[in-house]
């Protein structure tokens, strides 16, 4: 079967809708200013910045001027460039700040567009086009993987590998954009913007590609956290000689003993505790070694799957694994690991935050909670209640503070609807940490009773 040709549209900077009001929208202007400041630190002739500038100069200019907001994967790639150029310590705080501004600007754009039903229809159109690009990229990836595996053309193997790497990158970007569009649509649906007969079930969906190719799970490309140095994108992404496969489960892959869940309560036993700690350290070291091997061979899909698996292990593993990754110089994988942990269910998320705090890793704990703030209001509320129930009231305030910064007061106030008595004091304390004005705004929303009305 012939290999599908690339569409060339994925690596465009302005692959979304115009900003209503353009640069006059304050949130869009603030994000554009921060994005412009980021690009001022980059080399326009190298890295992903060069890719976007070469393939879509007008779109990139529109994003920097505040007329359009790029998909987050574009911003994440520019942050990758900053990591390579300036180092993770410079990129890490910039990533968190840009993510906050980005979410606020998207919300403002969707609200400023006017009729929410019309906006939802526009987003569905974009989603439909992006789903087509995702399917096309997956088909191209499968065809290239088969062609590369079949061999017989040594002179063209290098070109095939480069094309395969680009196809994987195309699919990863399209998958991330589909997820982002669905989240925006879900927010519009929650505000009554879907219209009759257009509930969440009518949002276009895409099945997983058949065969060995699997869409990339949520991770650092979507989170906007640095993913470490990469090969120059102008020469093509890091090639991989084998197709990505679904994440294997079980002890061999995850480094988890199959003899029981370590969350289970055990009697106090100092000798046993020391043995378990040594066991966790040894298994974390094995995970780091396996991860480094996958990275060295360019098997990024399996490396990311391993991090997803590791994030779901018992909470006491998390600070140990973070420390071992840092000691191995794999700080970019720490960012991926924490992002995956931020997407755990509320109970395990609270356990993960507690484990990091107990290990003295307050900065990582805060980063974990700030990333969890991107979740829907109901999930944020459940996570805040789980943190409060675990004795981590300060963690609940940290989580809600990030929500207050990233969302409008009316949306932030929705987080208390699940349990107003327990969550209202936490939300007001969080708002006060942001600013007195934001606290007054949220107090006004709560006084009008909007969350209690379930709107």
Query: Domain ranges in the chain?
Result: 22-223, 247-261+269-329, 342-455
More confident residue, 455 or 351: 351
Q: What is the mean pLDDT of the chain?
A: 76
Computed from CA positions of residues 63, 88, 173, 240, in that sequence, does the dihedral angle turn out positive or negative? positive
pLDDT of 224 higher than 60: no
Residue 145 confidence class, pLDDT cut points 50, 70, 90: confident
Position with higher pLDDT, 286 vs 5: 286
Average pLDDT of span 283-311: 85
For the purposes of burial, counting CB atoms within 10 Å of the CB of 132, is it exposed (0-12), middle (13-18) or buried (19 or more)? middle
Q: What is the pLDDT of residue 14?
A: 62
Phi-psi region of 192 (alpha: psi -120 to 50; beta: other; left: phi over 0): left
pLDDT of residue 96: 83
pLDDT of residue 272: 62
Neighbours of 57 (CB within 10 A): 11
Predicted local distance difference test score (pLDDT) of residue 427: 92
**pLDDT above 70 for 51:** yes
pLDDT value at 222 more than 50:
no
Q: Evaluate if residue 276 carries a pLDDT over 70.
A: yes
- Percentage of the chain with pLDDT > 90? 16
Q: What is the average per-residue pLDDT within 87-98?
A: 82
Is the confidence at residue 247, as pLDDT, over 70?
no
The pLDDT > 70 percentage for the chain reads: 75
Give the Cβ contact number of residue 22 at 10 Å.
Answer: 15
H/E stretch holding 55 reads helix 47-55
CA distances from 229 to 87, 282, 332, 373 (A): 9, 27, 9, 27
Q: How far is CA 348 from the centre of its chain?
A: 18
Task: Indicate if the pLDDT at residue 320 is higher than 70.
Answer: yes
Cα-based angle 62, 65, 67 (whole degrees, multiple of 5): 55
Residue 9, class by beta-carbon neighbours within 10 Å (0-12 exposed, 13-18 middle, 19+ buried)? middle
Which residue stretches of 56-196 are H helix? 57-64, 72-86, 88-112, 116-150, 154-190
């Amino acid at each position: 079967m012939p290999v599908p040709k690339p569409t060339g549209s994925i690596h465009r900077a302005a692959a979304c809708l115009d900003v209503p009001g353009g640069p006059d929208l304050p949130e869009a202007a603030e994000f554009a200013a921060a994005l412009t400041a980021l690009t001022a630190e980059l080399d326009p002739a190298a890295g992903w910045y060069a890719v976007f500038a070469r393939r879509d100069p007008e779109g990139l200019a529109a994003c920097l001027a505040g007329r359009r907001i790029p998909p987050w994967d574009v911003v994440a790639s520019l942050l990758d460039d900053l990591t390579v150029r300036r180092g993770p310590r410079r990129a890490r705080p910039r990533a968190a700040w840009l993510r906050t501004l980005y979410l606020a600007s998207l919300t403002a754009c969707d609200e400023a567009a006017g009729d929410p039903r019309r906006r939802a229809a526009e987003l569905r159109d974009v989603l439909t086009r992006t789903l087509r690009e995702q399917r096309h990229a997956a088909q191209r990836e499968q065809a290239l993987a088969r062609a590369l595996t079949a061999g017989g053309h040594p002179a063209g193997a290098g070109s095939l590998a480069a094309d395969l790497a680009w196809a994987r990158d195309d699919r990863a970007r399209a998958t991330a954009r589909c997820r982002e569009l669905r989240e925006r649509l879900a927010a519009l649906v929650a505000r009554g913007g879907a219209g009759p007969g257009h509930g969440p079930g009518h949002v276009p969906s895409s099945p997983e590609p058949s065969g060995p190719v699997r869409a990339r799970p949520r991770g650092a490309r979507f989170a906007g956290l640095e993913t470490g140095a990469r090969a120059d994108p102008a020469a093509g992404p890091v090639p991989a000689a084998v197709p990505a496969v679904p994440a294997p489960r079980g002890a061999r892959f995850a480094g988890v003993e199959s003899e029981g869940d370590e969350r289970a309560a055990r009697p106090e036993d100092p000798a046993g505790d020391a043995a378990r700690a040594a066991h966790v350290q040894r298994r974390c070291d094995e995970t780091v070694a396996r991860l480094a091997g996958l990275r060295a061979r360019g098997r990024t899909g399996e490396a990311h799957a391993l991090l997803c698996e590791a994030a779901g292990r018992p909470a006491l593993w998390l600070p140990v694994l973070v420390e071992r990754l840092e000691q191995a110089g794999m700080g970019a994988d720490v960012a991926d690991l924490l992002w995956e942990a931020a997407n755990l269910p509320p109970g395990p998320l609270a356990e993960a935050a507690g484990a990091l705090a107990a290990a003295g890793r307050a900065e990582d704990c805060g980063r974990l909670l700030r990333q969890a703030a991107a979740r829907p209001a109901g999930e944020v509320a459940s996570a805040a209640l789980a943190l409060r129930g675990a004795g981590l009231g300060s963690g609940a305030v940290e989580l809600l503070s990030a929500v207050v910064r990233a969302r409008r007061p009316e949306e932030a106030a929705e987080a208390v609807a699940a349990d107003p008595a327990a969550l209202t004091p936490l939300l007001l304390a969080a708002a006060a940490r942001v600013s007195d004005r934001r606290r007054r705004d949220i107090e006004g929303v709560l006084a009008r009773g909007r969350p209690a009305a379930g709107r």
